[in-house]
């Protein structure tokens, strides 16, 4: 990460690292599970995937579009979800391409008409397939969900929060994608924006098949440091979104300095695999400086080119510019 790649806002140059817990801990996944995201239950799996439709030569001929219905199973039952895959038209069993597994805030069909947020054609040009899933089909974003999500497939619903369920679902999407002809299981990427960036990081920390994790503007409980004040804090996030984490995490509201962890350790836990963090200058609620400082603090855990970062002007969104800058890091 050179200074020119960073292109930091001038006002950030004097930002200083707060005092942080040590970068390396014996079992970071255990620490983050026990403190915040909860424990991912054993015994769940992708139990089926059916191809619903396939259109070849879409997006001006650069991609094929595949729709699948996936099924996940746990001890208490099964749940269906839909995926939309764009596969570069040249991809085949002989010439497979890596896949980017992406959590979407909207229904998957709506992503097709949002090229500024889902620049599929340009991602195909870069040689990647993209598999999108509507995050609320995996687990509703609601403290009292009307419909069951993946957490209802397991005995103890409170042992993990919704962020954990979305992360688990992203791994099951990777299971589904790697069963598709033309997908190379190596080089898989997890991507998410904001709350879904938190989920992408937690998926990347737990699932070693993700060669790269991209967390866009993931903020509090994502890439941003708890110990750098600014933007959302634990009181705000656990009041508005109590279902995202395990109930005991709320005890740290107003007591950030007593947390046994901080988010530079989550980034470092992904090493030696790679991670990319992106911020937006006006995205104050996500504390972009706190995201940048987490990258600075995590850097010693990575080899050269193992961690990347950008900050762009503007507000909270995952835009074409973010995809393309992250992809140029992914491609090295
Ligand atoms: C906000 C929340 C953030 C962030 C964001 C989003 O309301 O406070 O933590 O996740 O939502 O997902 O857009």
Does any ligand 1 atom lie closer than 6 A to the CB of residue 232? yes
**For residue 223, which of 171, 165, 289 has the smallest C-alpha distance?**
289
The residue nearest atom 10 of ligand 1, judged by CA position, is 195
Given a cut of 60, whether residue 2 has pLDDT beyond it is: no
Residues marked as catalytic: 194, 316
Does any ligand 1 atom lie closer than 6 A to the CB of residue 201? no
pLDDT band at 5, cuts 50/70/90?
low
Given a cut of 80, whether residue 102 has pLDDT beyond it is: yes
Higher-confidence position of 3 and 241: 241
Which pLDDT does position 7 carry in this prediction? 82
How far, in Å, from the CA of 194 to the mean position of ligand 1? 6
- Percentage of residues in the chain having pLDDT higher than 90: 96
* Of the listed ranges 9-18, 139-148, 276-285, the one predicted with least confidence: 9-18
Tokens of 82: 């839909």
Residue reference for tokens 């992406």: 102
Interior/surface letters 197-225, b for 16+ CB within 10 angstroms, e for the rest: bbbbbbbbbbbebbbbbbbbbbbbbbbbb
CATH class of this structure's domain 2-331: alpha beta
Taking CA atoms, 325 is separated from 28, 120, 135, 205, in Å, by 28, 14, 24, 22
Nearest-atom index, ligand 1, CA of 193: 12
Residue among 241, 288, 322 to mutate when testing ligand 1 (max atoms within 8 A of CB): 241
Residue among 166, 195, 221, 245 to mutate when testing ligand 1 (max atoms within 8 A of CB): 195
**For residue 174, which of 91, 63, 274, 98 has the smallest C-alpha distance?**
98
Does any ligand 1 atom lie closer than 6 A to the CB of residue 219? yes
Residue reference for tokens 């729709």: 67
Residue reference for tokens 């596969």: 87
Residues 75-96: what's their mean pLDDT?
98
Taking CA atoms, 303 is separated from 223, 273, 294, 308, in Å, by 19, 9, 16, 11
The residue nearest atom 12 of ligand 1, judged by CA position, is 195
Q: How many helices (H) and strands (E) does the chain have?
A: 11, 9
**Mind giving me the DSSP string for 229-281?**
-SS--HHHHHHH-GGGS-GGGGGGTT-GGG-S--HHHHHHHHTTSEEEEEEET
**29 Cβ contact partners less than 8 Å away, ≥ 6 residues apart:** 205, 206, 269
Task: Collapse the DSSP code of 311 into the 3-class scheme (helix H, G, I; strand E, B; otherwise coil) and give the result.
Answer: strand
How far, in Å, from the CA of 232 to the mean position of ligand 1? 9
Interior/surface letters 245-268, b for 16+ CB within 10 angstroms, e for the rest: bbeebeebeeebeebebbbbbbbb
How far, in Å, from the CA of 192 to the mean position of ligand 1? 12
Does any ligand 1 atom lie closer than 6 A to the CB of residue 194? yes
Per residue in 260-273, pLDDT (tens digit) is 999 999 999 999 99
Q: Where are the domains of the chain?
A: 2-331
Per residue in 201-245, pLDDT (tens digit) is 999 999 999 999 999 999 999 999 999 999 999 999 999 999 999
How far, in Å, from the CA of 1 to the mean position of ligand 1? 27
How far, in Å, from the CA of 123 to the mean position of ligand 1? 25
Tokens of 14: 């004097």
Does any ligand 1 atom lie closer than 6 A to the CB of residue 215? no
Tokens of 146: 């009307």
Residue among 199, 223, 239, 285 to mutate when testing ligand 1 (max atoms within 8 A of CB): 285
Which pLDDT does position 13 carry in this prediction? 86
Task: Collapse the DSSP code of 11 into the 3-class scheme (helix H, G, I; strand E, B; otherwise coil) and give the result.
Answer: helix
CA distance 193 to 83: 18
**Mean pLDDT across the chain:** 97
Does any ligand 1 atom lie closer than 6 A to the CB of residue 187? no
How far, in Å, from the CA of 285 to the mean position of ligand 1? 8
The Cβ-side half-sphere exposure at 210, using a 13 Å CA radius, reads: 32
Per residue in 131-174, pLDDT (tens digit) is 999 999 999 999 999 999 999 999 998 999 999 999 999 999 99
Which pLDDT does position 11 carry in this prediction? 86
Given a cut of 90, whether residue 6 has pLDDT beyond it is: no
- Provide the sign of the torsion angle of the four alpha carbons 115, 121, 122, 124, taken in this order: positive
Nearest-atom index, ligand 1, CA of 219: 9
Which pLDDT does position 111 carry in this prediction? 98
Nearest-atom index, ligand 1, CA of 221: 9
The residue nearest atom 8 of ligand 1, judged by CA position, is 237
């Amino acid at each position: 990460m050179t200074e020119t790649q960073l292109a930091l806002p001038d006002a950030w140059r004097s930002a200083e690292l707060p005092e942080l817990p040590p970068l390396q801990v014996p079992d970071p996944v255990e620490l983050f599970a026990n403190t915040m995201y909860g424990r991912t239950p054993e015994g769940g799996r992708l139990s089926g995937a059916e191809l619903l439709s396939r259109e070849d030569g879409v997006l001006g001929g650069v991609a094929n579009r595949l729709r699948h219905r996936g099924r996940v199973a746990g001890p208490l039952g099964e749940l269906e979800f839909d995926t939309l895959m764009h596969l570069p038209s040249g991809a085949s069993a002989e010439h497979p391409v890596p896949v980017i597994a992406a959590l979407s805030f909207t229904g998957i069909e709506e992503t097709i008409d949002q090229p500024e947020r889902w620049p599929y054609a340009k991602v195909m040009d870069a040689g990647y397939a993209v598999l999108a899933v509507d995050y609320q089909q995996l687990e509703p974003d609601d403290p009292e969900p009307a419909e069951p999500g993946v957490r209802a497939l397991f005995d103890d619903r409170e042992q993990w929060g919704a962020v954990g369920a979305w992360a688990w679902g992203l791994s099951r999407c990777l299971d589904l994608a790697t069963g598709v002809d033309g997908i190379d299981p190596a080089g898989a990427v997890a991507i998410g924006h904001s709350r879904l960036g938190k989920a992408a990081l937690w998926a990347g920390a737990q699932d070693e098949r993700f060669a790269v994790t991209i967390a866009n503007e993931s903020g509090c409980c994502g890439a941003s440091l708890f110990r750098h004040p600014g933007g959302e804090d634990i009181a705000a996030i656990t009041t508005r979104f109590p279902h995202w984490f395990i109930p005991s995490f709320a005890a740290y509201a107003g007591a950030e300095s007593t947390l046994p962890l901080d988010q530079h350790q989550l980034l470092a836990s992904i090493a030696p695999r790679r991670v990319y963090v992106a911020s937006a200058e006006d995205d104050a609620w996500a504390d972009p400086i706190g995201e940048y400082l987490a990258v600075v603090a995590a850097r010693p855990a990575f080899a050269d080119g193992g961690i990347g970062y950008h900050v762009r002007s503007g507000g909270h969104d995952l835009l074409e510019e973010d995809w393309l800058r992250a992809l140029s890091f992914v491609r090295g």
